[in-house]
Amino acid sequence: MTHAHDHGHAHVERRPLAIALGLILGLLVGEIVFGLIAGSLALLADAGHMLTDAAALAMALAAASVADRPPSGRWTFGFGRVGVLAAQINGVTLALVGAWITFEAIQRLIDPPEVRGGIVLAVALVGVAVNVAATLVLARGSRDSLNVQGAFLHLVTDLAAFAGTALAGFLILVTGVDRLDAVASLLVAALVFWAAWQLLRASGRIFLDVSPEGIDPETVGRAIAEQPGVVEAHDLHIWSLDDRVPALSAHVTCARDVDCHRVRMEIERMLHDRFGLEHTTLQVDHARRAGLVSLRSWRQ
């Protein structure tokens, strides 16, 4: 039982990604300029992170366009995993940015330069406003697409980073302690590492064909074996074609006196209704002998 991918979904992703990209590019230019004027690592760290944000949004936008294509040629599963690949690349870039921020912040904790807290505070507050707008644009799509979630997490960490940078700028103005800029940068790095882990974990599970979260193979196998007329279910595999489409294949043997085609349709209906599995491939045969057992099997 195979259903076509919802290719129109990728079309819905592109508009919010394009809007968010425009907002971030405008802020990026201003942050680099004022970060250099203020001598603030926190602002420049945010700018470096925002450069990856802009790249992440551009890549997510391109991936959404490619994912919209129907299966063709050797791409028999379609292009849905292009978006997953974009999310994984975003996870790697976030980890690298986090490492760079950490290294620079430690250097500045040891030998802090003078930081102009007023400029830091003003630019950070503008950054908060722009990132709030951009994250709101992507918030809905991030729940349905790992590709959009990758771009969304970039922006969420930036939003938190700007809030921390604004606080650091204010405290520098009040206390004159320039090391607070580096402390804010370390907090930014911690958020970046968390976002990187979320993306790498989710995309890694898909590329390694791990069963999707919320679908337990043991429970699915027993549910198939409990269907009327089924003798055994084995060679069960559950994986994700992309971040939205779980898939299943299995070999099912049924009693010799039942209609195996009817059994197959009933199993497909059960898998859809109980587990949300629409992309299924079932090999259903009559049992040839009693006591058929395989390495991983579920029996009545």
Side-chain-side CA neighbours of 137 within 13 Å: the count stands at 22
Indicate the SS3 state at residue 298: strand
Name the fold adopted by 217-299: Alpha-Beta Plaits (3.30.70)
Whole-number pLDDT of residue 53: 75
Give the C-alpha separation, 42 to 26, whole Å. 18
pLDDT per position as a tens digit, 52-83: 778 778 887 887 778 777 778 888 888 888 88
**DSSP letter string, 178-229:** THHHHHHHHHHHHHHHHHHHHHHHHHHHHHTTPPPTT--HHHHHHHHHTSTT
pLDDT band at 49; cut points 50, 70, 90: low
C-alpha distances (whole Å) from 68 to each of 4, 56, 77 are 12, 18, 12
Q: Phi/psi of residue 114, each to 5°?
A: -75, 135
DSSP H stretches of helix in the chain: 8-38, 41-67, 81-110, 117-142, 146-175, 179-207, 217-225, 260-275
Q: What does the domain layout of the chain look like in residue ranges?
A: 8-207, 217-299
pLDDT per position as a tens digit, 216-269: 999 999 999 999 999 999 999 999 988 788 999 999 999 988 999 999 999 999
Name the fold adopted by 8-207: Alpha-lytic protease prodomain-like (1.20.1510)
Whole-number pLDDT of residue 291: 45
Whole-number pLDDT of residue 124: 76
Q: Which of 89-93, 251-255, 275-279, 285-289 has the lowest mean pLDDT?
A: 285-289
Residue 103: how many other CB atoms lie within 10 Å: 11
For the cut 50, the answer to whether the pLDDT of residue 179 exceeds it is yes
Give the C-alpha separation, 119 to 99, whole Å. 25
> What does pTM read for this prediction?
0.72
Indicate the SS3 state at residue 253: strand
For the cut 80, the answer to whether the pLDDT of residue 149 exceeds it is no
Spell out the residues 6+ positions from residue 61 whose beta carbon is closer than 8 angstroms to its own. Answer: 14, 17, 18, 21
pLDDT: which is higher, 162 or 102: 102
Annotate 176-189 with b (16+ C-beta within 10 A) or e (fewer). Answer: eebbbbbbbbbbbb
Whole-number pLDDT of residue 4: 43
Give the C-alpha separation, 84 to 91, whole Å. 11
